[in-house]
Amino acid sequence: MEELSLVKNQIKTFVQECNDAKSLTLLELLATGKMLRSKLILKIAGINEEAIKLCAIVEMIHAASLLHDDVIDESDTRRGKPSVNALFDNKTAIMFGDILYSKAFTELSQMDKRIAHTVSHAVTLLSIGEMLDVDLTQKFNSNYDLYLDMIYKKTASLIEASARAAAILASKDEEKYALYGKNLGLAFQMIDDILDITQDSSTLGKPAMLDFVEGKVTIPYLFLHQRIEDKQKLESMYKKSLRQEEIAWIKEQMNTTHALQDAILQAKTLGNEAIEALKDENTLDLVMIMKAMIEREF
Ligand code: FPP
Ligand code: MG
């Protein structure tokens, strides 16, 4: 997508404006992701100067949050490359994150007040979401509502804000697009959590079923926990490195109780609700983005 290079150039210009050579070097080292938030903004608001700036702001905030997240998670890799904390140290990752997100806020303060409010509020939610995520991995969480609140804040809030802000820019119905963005974010996270169980480690690029080992009780595990007799057996496997037969037992239980199937259904329902919300908006591209996410092999 040609327009995504416009976003990358805008990010570079913003960082150049900070007049700091080290920041520019660090920016070059960051691996770029799928730029889902930018794609969403440009589909809603069209390709114009304000929309490109909004994309750059959101991508810089997202990058900052991942820099900090890799420190919090003690993660050595990001998008298949060594993370900044691994290449340098935690201090560098935190400080560069601070530079990216404060520069993003400087630029955000120059935009429409409603856009600035929408995006900055989402960053508060994002930060709370990260704290909830860390707290929820301390002990086995069997409360689905807590999981839903956490993934909304940590993952969906910035995607929702991107869609809402883009709709404001383009004078479109912001509630409809916000709902689409929120559900896209929730479905995205749920599917990520499902693939951790259904995909093998070579496809994932990390050990399969790592979430549970790392203390994350995601949607398929929550549904399973609600449905099985022997809840203690599942709880006893929490946060432990799993043996082959334990992995097989969890997978078998996920299938026989339909926990996995119903988790997939939940993600699909959210996706279809979003598609329905946009039915009068003439947004085939957004429908395709959602369908590509939910209508896939699991
Ligand atoms: C990745 O989660 C983390 C996030 C989506 C949000 C992290 C947010 C913060 C650290 C708040 C700070 C915000 C700013 C702007 C500095 P994950 O660990 O589940 O996913 P991963 O596998 O990609 O690491
Ligand atoms: Mg992480």
Express each pLDDT in 123-179 by its tens digit. 999 999 999 999 999 999 999 999 999 999 999 999 999 999 999 999 999 999 999
* Nearest protein CA to atom 2 of ligand 1, as residue: 69
Domains identified in the chain, total number: 2
Select from 67, 91, 110 the last residue of a domain. Answer: 110
Residue 236 alpha carbon to ligand 1 centre in Å: 28
**214 and 142, same structural domain?**
yes
Instruction: Give the chain's largest Cα–Cα span.
Output: 61
Residue 126 CA to ligand 1 centre (angstroms): 8
pLDDT of 8: 98
Same-domain status, 251 and 288: yes
C-alpha span between 169 and 172 (Å, rounded) = 8
Measured CA to CA, the distance from residue 249 to residue 239 in angstroms comes to 16
The C-alpha atoms of residue 226 and residue 266 are separated, in whole angstroms, by 15
Q: Is the pLDDT of residue 298 over 90?
A: no
Give residue-wise pLDDT tens across range 4-58. Answer: 999 999 999 999 999 999 999 999 999 889 999 999 999 999 999 999 999 999 9
Q: Which ligand is in closest contact with the Cα of 216? A: 1
Residue 285 pLDDT more than 70?
yes
Same domain, 133 and 256: yes
Q: pTM higher than 0.85, yes or no?
A: yes
Query: Is 77 found in the same domain as 202?
Result: no
Residue 157 sits in the same domain as residue 248 = yes
**Which atom in ligand 1 lies closest to the alpha carbon of residue 133?**
19
Going from the Cα of 72 to the center of ligand 1, the distance in angstroms, rounded, reads 9
Task: Collapse the DSSP code of 61 into the 3-class scheme (helix H, G, I; strand E, B; otherwise coil) and give the result.
Answer: helix
Domain limits at 36? 1-110
On whether both 19 and 82 belong to a single domain, the answer is yes
Using pLDDT thresholds of 50, 70 and 90, give the confidence band for residue 85: very high
**Contact criterion met (CB below 8 Å) for 124 and 105:** no
pLDDT at position 206:
74
Residues 201-245 pLDDT 10s: 777 777 778 999 999 999 999 999 999 999 999 999 999 999 999
Under DSSP, the state recorded for 172 is -
Residues 105 and 79 in one domain: yes
pLDDT of res. 101 = 97
> How many angstroms does the Cα of residue 271 sit away from the middle of ligand 1?
23
Which residues fall within 8 angstroms of residue 155, CB to CB, at 6 or more apart?
Answer: 129, 185, 186, 188, 189
- Residue 243's CATH number: 1.10.600.10
Of 93, 110, 127, the residue at which a domain comes to its end is 110
Nearest CA among 124, 193, 126 for reference residue 156: 126
Regarding the beta carbon of 126 and ligand 1, being less than 6 Å apart is answered yes
Choose the final residue of a domain: 48, 75, 110: 110
Same domain, 19 and 72: yes
Say if residue 137 is in the same domain as residue 147: yes
**Together in a domain, 116 and 80:** no
Q: Mutate which of 65, 157, 162 to test ligand 1's pocket (most atoms within 8 Å of Cβ)?
A: 65
Residues 132, 244, single domain; the answer is yes
Same domain, residue pair 264 and 126:
yes
Looking at every residue in the chain, the average pLDDT score rounds to: 96
CB 42 within 8 A of CB 51: yes
Residue 1 pLDDT > 70: no
Instruction: Round to whole Å and give the CA distance between 191 and 72.
Output: 23
- State residue 272 phi and psi, 5-degree precision: -70, -35
Mean pLDDT of 244-272: 96
pLDDT of residue 170: 97
